[in-house]
Structures are given as structure tokens and as C-alpha cells.
Amino acid sequence: MYKKITSIILFSIILLVGSFANIDTAFAKHNLPKDVPMSHWANSVIQQMLTKQYMTTYADGNFKPEQAITRAEAAGAIARSMQIDVETSFLPNFKDVSVTHPYYKEICKLVELGVLRNEDTFEPEAPLKRMQIAKMLTLSYEIEVDAKNKSKFIDVPSTHWAKDFIESLADVGVIKGVDGQHFAPNSLVTRAQLAALVERSVDFRQKVTNLEVAYDYLAKDYIPTVNFSTEWSKEVVRLINAERQKRTLEPLSYDAALTQIAVIKAQDMVNRKYFEHESPFYGAPWDLATLFDYTYTSFGENIARNIPLPVVAVKAWMTSASHRDNILKAHYTNTGVGVAKDSKGNYYWVQMFSSQ
């Protein structure tokens, strides 16, 4: 009897779970735009834009993915994706955007931020061109723009006003050409394309925020700054703080921004095949830190290589008078540790210290 009751309960649970699954599937299908099938190339990004309410469908339930995006629609999607407070007292000069316009607040905010130009007219319902969206995206997501770029398009000459915006955005993978050689700057941006461009821009900005990439002002390029092992870095900090505690010194704070600088130095030693405090490209450690906008009142650096573990690195530094001196300096407050691995499997360690 007990087994029979258990079987009935189990069967009921299975039916219940199955029912929930069917409800979820039905709900997802019900909320799909009528004109964006699952096979559409931008289906997933469009769904994300709708779910996050960065974009909306029209009253008839259609998304119209191949329709050209209007200037107002693009401003609305971009401002919302930036997750900023669009409430503002700023009043633009536009005579053709009334306070009742559905994207009025978003447009005003982007003008206030300098993304859109404050002119007499905005032409909110005009379609947006590819060259125009390139500029909007770089300014909105604070993507660095320079004239030294790998991406080149034969239909974007050196005299084109949007050249640097287009090439800089293409270099970081946010926008692409219509083929290997052409960008088609005057072509219109579709609503599906705008959804993809916004998603890529948000993803790239998140990498910058997460300290996975950094703009190198000397090389004029974004470079990867992912640490070989965050766990190893934090273990080094724990070990050196144990040494400081033995001498009644204040512990050093793990500094994520300083760790990013240490990663850049470690990768630089691997890439340029040297092992010195002075980089042939960046100069002294404090010059490197300043280049990447890190502020400090005093600065120091320990380096090591061909060491397999954090405990070994710390022991090696503690047996060296100059390295030990950095670890035990009373006025240092912050530290960051970067690790890089070369093609032969050798590890390069960089520990940086700063006073704040």
C-alpha cells in the first residue's frame, strides 16, 4: 500500500513539473514577437532587448526586425541599456521633440551627456545610418576612439568624419563591415541590427568594468587584462599580510585596479621577452600605473619568474632584501598581484604596492 501511494505521489509530481514546463514554453511562445521566428539570426538578442525593456514591440505585436530604426528608437534603446537615471531638468534646443514623445526623457539625457548634439532639430522619426550609430555607440558606452586602428574599409576614406568612430568600434568587435572590405556608412540600421549592436556594446563595456580589458593609451589599443589566477593573487596577498602581521604592521588591501596594472606588466614581460622592473615599452612601474590612470602617493614593485606557486613566490621575495623591504613597508596601503604564463609554461609574477 505504501509503495502504491508513493508511486501515485511521484507520478503527480512528474505531471506537475511537466505542467509547469508546458506553461513556461507556452508563455515564451506567447511573448515572442509575431514576426521574429526562432530561426531568425537575431532572435536571441531581440528577446533580450524585449525582456530587459530596452526595446519594445509595436501595438500589433510585431518587432519589425528588418525595418530601419529611427533616431528616437535608437536613443531610447541605448539610454535604457546604459541603465542610467533619465530624469533630468536639462532642456534641449530641439523644436521637433515634444515632452509627450515616448522617448523624450531618453533623448534629453543623451543630449545632456554629449552623446547627441544639441541642435534646433533632432528628426526623431528619421532613419539612422551606420556611420551615425557608430558615433552614438562609442560615446554612449565610453569606448575609446583614436586614429590608430587595425580595421580599415575602402568606402571609409581618411577624410570621412566618422572614420575614427567606425574603425575604433570595429576594432573591439562591436560593429562589422558588410563584407571584408566595405562598411557601407550610409546604409540604414535595422531594428534587428540595433539590438545586436547594443548587446555587443553592453558586453564590451562590462568587460571594461570587470577589468578584463583596458585601453592602452601608449599603444592606442584595448588589451586583455585577465589574470592567470585570481586565487593565486589573493593567496599571495594573504601570505604577505601574514608576514606583516608578525611585525605588527597593518595589512595591505587587495586592490583590483592595481592587480590589473600588475597583470599588464606580467603580460608585457611575456610578450616582449624581458625580466626587469623597467619595461622597454612602458618604462618604470609607476609610469605604467600613471599611464593606465592609477593614482597613488608612493609606489613599489616585486617581480619573479619560473616559480610554480604563491607560497614559493612569497618565500623567494622574503629572502631578498629589496623585495622584503617592499612587502614590509609601513606606509604602503594597497597591493595587487598579476600572474602570466608564457608559451613554455613559465610563470611571471608581479606584485605592486601603493600608498593611497
Distance between CA atoms of 308 and 305, rounded to whole angstroms? 9
- Predicted confidence at residue 32, as pLDDT, reads 77
- The three state secondary structure string of the chain is CHHHHHHHHHHHHHHHHHHHHHHHHHHHHHHCCCCCCCCCCCHHHHHHHHHCCCCCCCCCCCCCCCCECEHHHHHHHHHHHCCCCCCCCCCCCCCCCCCCCCCHHHHHHHHHCCCCCCCCCCCCCCECEHHHHHHHHHHHCCCCCCCCCCCCCCCCCCCCCCHHHHHHHHHCCCCCCCCCCCCCCCCECEHHHHHHHHHHHHHHHHHHHCCCEEEECCCCEEEECCCCCHHHHHHHHHHHHHHHHHCCCCCCEECHHHHHHHHHHHHHHHHHCCCCCCECCCECHHHHHHHCCCCCCEEEEEEEECCCCHHHHHHHHHCCHHHHHHHCCCCCCEEEEEEEECCCCCEEEEEEEEEC
Q: Which amino acid is at 251?
A: P
Mean pLDDT by groups of 10 residues along the chain of 356 residues = 40 36 38 89 96 95 98 98 95 96 97 97 98 98 97 98 98 97 98 98 98 98 98 98 98 98 98 98 98 98 97 98 98 98 97 97
How far separated are the first and last CA of the chain, in Å rounded?
A: 73
Instruction: Specify the pLDDT at position 10.
Output: 38
